[in-house]
Amino acid sequence: MLKLQKRNPILSIRFIAVLFCLLYLGHGHLFALERSEDKGKDSIKKIDLVIQYKTKKSIISRDKVFMVSGSIPVFNSQGRKMTLYSLPVPCKATVEYEPTAGGNPNAVKIVLRQKLSGAKTGWSAPKPE
């Protein structure tokens, strides 16, 4: 006949604890990652404005200064990619940006909407007052 063996109760408790951690805490961690990814997408804002000046490190409108990197994607009104240097200013543009705490927001994408009269390519900066 088949003998039933007694199981060690401590081993069973350990097994249940490990199973609980994998099932319960593992899913909670995955859900937390999804929420943080969604939060990143929500933090990007979009604004239509007139870019008056641009430097290698920033674009300047009447009300805001946006920090830029050399690899920022810039598109013309037909959707073709262009460099920040060749963006004519002043111009009407849509800027996607990430707000920063207490500092200038970081521009992540610029789309040229309309070239304004007197617009020139190249770097420009506001004249000191």
Q: Are strands 65-67 and 58-60 parallel, antiparallel or unpaired?
A: antiparallel
Residue 68 clears pLDDT 50, i.e. is over it: yes
Query: In this structure, are 98 and 111 located in the same domain?
Result: yes
Q: How confident is the model at residue 38 (pLDDT cuts 50, 70, 90)?
A: very low
In a domain, 1, yes or no: no
Query: In this structure, are 34 and 91 located in the same domain?
Result: no
Query: In this structure, are 74 and 102 located in the same domain?
Result: yes
In a domain, 3, yes or no: no
Q: Domain tally for the chain?
A: 2
Query: In this structure, are 56 and 103 located in the same domain?
Result: yes
Query: In this structure, are 52 and 13 located in the same domain?
Result: no
Q: Provide the pLDDT for residue 20.
A: 66
Number of H helices, E strands in the chain: 2, 8
Residue 32 clears pLDDT 60, i.e. is over it: no
> Could you tell me the CATH number of the domain that includes residue 50?
2.40.50
Residue 48 clears pLDDT 70, i.e. is over it: yes
In a domain, 90, yes or no: yes
Residue 37 clears pLDDT 90, i.e. is over it: no
Query: In this structure, are 38 and 50 located in the same domain?
Result: no
The percentage of residues in the chain with a pLDDT greater than 70, rounded to a whole number, is 74
Query: In this structure, are 64 and 102 located in the same domain?
Result: yes
User: What pTM value is reported for the model?
Assistant: 0.67
**Which residues lie below 8 Å from residue 66, measured CB to CB, with a gap of 6+?**
58, 59, 60, 95, 97, 104, 105, 106, 107
- Residue 107 belongs to domain spanning: 45-120
